[in-house]
Amino acid sequence: MRKISKYTIILFLLASVIYMNCKDDATTSASSCDQSCQDENTAYGLAHVFNFIWNQHFAGQPTGSHDMTVNGPQGGSIHITGTTGFSNGINTANLVFDMTDCKGLDENYSLTFTGIVNIDGTFSSTYKALAYISSQLTFHGTVGKNTNVPVSATCEISINESLSHLSGTICGREFSYK
């Protein structure tokens, strides 16, 4: 009788673990990332790729004119042209990112970008005013913290980034992300 009880308990526990791991959780369902959430995380993804590229290829480097091709954070490439500057602790960027299958990811997004994005503005450790503008950017992948909602589009984007805020339009839809 004891052997049956032990096996029954083990089977019950195993079935409970499997059930708990397979059931839908509100934090991981697609419904928890609506269109606004998708646009916010897409904008965040593009800004995140820029910040990664800046830190890897421009921070602490000489300012002036640039014409280089670099790898994307997780693959693909970016042909970068334009100018950067640094004066009194403030960075300036007037760059064109020509992205080809440029992939970036973190817990909020996993996206691949293709297209030309103009990036203009100034920033420091306490201030940021950057604009990301593209007349036709293609992006596809997933967005949303722990949700993996699929997104795919080719459209116009206009994103403004401050130190703690992203806003603008993606495919004609307005968004605001803090």
pLDDT band at 39 (very low <50, low <70, confident <90, very high): very high
| Per-residue pLDDT, 31 | 59
Give CA separation, 99 vs 22, 49, 52, 132, 159, in Å.
38, 11, 14, 13, 17
| Per-residue pLDDT, 2 | 45
| Per-residue pLDDT, 44 | 96
Average pLDDT over residues 79-96: 96
Distance CA 34, CA 42 (A): 12
Distance CA 61, CA 34 (A): 40
What residue spans of the chain are helical by DSSP H?
2-22, 35-57
pLDDT in tens, 122-158: 999 999 999 999 999 999 999 998 888 999 999 999 9
